[in-house]
Amino acid sequence: MRVFPYFISLLLAATALHGQNQEKPAPRPHVLVIGVNGMELDVIRPLILKGAMPNLERVINNGAYGKLRTVSAPNCPRVYSTIFTSTEPDEHGVTGFLVGGITANTNMLKEEPIWSVLSRNDVSVGMANVPATFPVMPVNGYMISGMLTRGKNCEDGVLCAPKLSEVMGGDAVYPKSLQPELLKNVGDFYIDCERMPGASDLKGHEKEVIDKWLGKVQLIRDEQTKLFDYLLTKHPTDFTMLGQSCEDRTGHWLYPIAPFNVGYNVSINSVRVEAFPDQYIAFDQVLGSILKHADENTYVIIISDHGIKPLREFENKDPHAHMDHEKTRR
């Protein structure tokens, strides 16, 4: 397996993160990877300076951070599959959300992913809510799928959030025996983030619909926080990877762009201009909950598939490809 050195847009790493003192320390992960979709440093830096993201600031101060080049034409499954395999998209086979007209899935991987390599070498693995991991694969530990999981009202698995009990077309949990345990102790949580409302739902009710959607986003984030805490407490593994995607979904739709940017819609983009940066502040709270399970022997790595910028130029064939609401939600 060769190293592919420029596959993420943001990398933050830290060691010497001290957990709470305990008389009998619980097992801790040796490597803890947290994937955050659409992590934009130009939005995050001011928040850190204001003291709005103390947990991320702690990680940065204890390690190193910076921007790295992502793959060409980056999208979530394309980049995450590159991270999983350390190979380029044309090699690992997952080149986008759709491959040959079919929603990207783990059956398309042509290269061995990191969870299989680790499991084969007797390293315990835990993965939850990580994009492009549906259907889950056998591991030496557990795996709970994330973005691109198919289910009720989410038959294609793209940009939607089925509940755990509503998953269809494959397994979302490995081992299967873990699913009833999660339903009992965590609840019937949503997988991935909520799909954006349609234009017909928004028209004339923008503020009401956007506020309702953002409330659902926070509910999903709260459920994911509970899931992560439960897994890290009850099922600690040597290598743990957790994912967050609501930041990306909100950024694509509600980035506080100005009228001169492509895709600007005053009835949508002027409603909650703080919504996008607020997602990073909310993520920082999730990060704080996760870091309680790290100690001085834990390597913490935070990665992202790409940043997020408003478009200032456009192609004649598709001028609103990134920011136009109807195109973004597909």
Pick left, alpha or beta for residue 73 (phi over 0 → left; psi -120 to 50 → alpha; otherwise beta): left
Q: What is the pLDDT of residue 158?
A: 87
- Assess whether pLDDT exceeds 50 at residue 6: no
| Average pLDDT over every residue of 78-103 | 95
pTM score of the predicted model: 0.87
- Assess whether pLDDT exceeds 50 at residue 318: no
Q: Contact, 84 vs 115, CB < 8 A?
A: yes
| Residue % of the chain over a pLDDT of 90 | 65
Q: What is the pLDDT of residues 228-239, one digit of tens each?
A: 999 999 999 999
Q: What is the pLDDT of residues 100-128, one digit of tens each?
A: 999 999 999 999 999 999 999 999 999 99
pLDDT band at 327 (very low <50, low <70, confident <90, very high): very low
Long-range CB contacts (< 8 A, 24+ apart) of 252-258? Answer: 252/38, 252/308, 252/322, 252/323, 252/328, 253/196, 253/325, 253/328, 253/329, 254/210, 255/308, 255/310, 255/323, 257/310, 257/323, 258/310
Strands in the chain per DSSP E: 10-14, 31-36, 63-67, 98-99, 102-103, 125-130, 141-145, 173-174, 239-244, 299-304
CA distance 3 to 145: 25
Q: What is the pLDDT of residue 330?
A: 34
Q: What is the pLDDT of residue 15?
A: 41
CATH for 10-311 is: 3.40.720
| H helix intervals, 86-205 | 89-92, 114-120, 178-185, 199-202
Q: What is the pLDDT of residue 5?
A: 35
Q: What is the pLDDT of residue 103?
A: 94
Q: What is the pLDDT of residue 194?
A: 83
CA distance 60 to 30: 18
| Average pLDDT over every residue of 12-29 | 54
CA distance 201 to 204: 8
What are the C-alpha distances in Å from 286 to residues 9, 149, 214, 283? 21, 22, 16, 5
CB atoms within 10 A of CB 120: 11
| Per-domain residue ranges of the chain | 10-311
Question: Which residues, listed in sequence order, are joined to residue 103 by a DSSP beta bridge?
Answer: 98
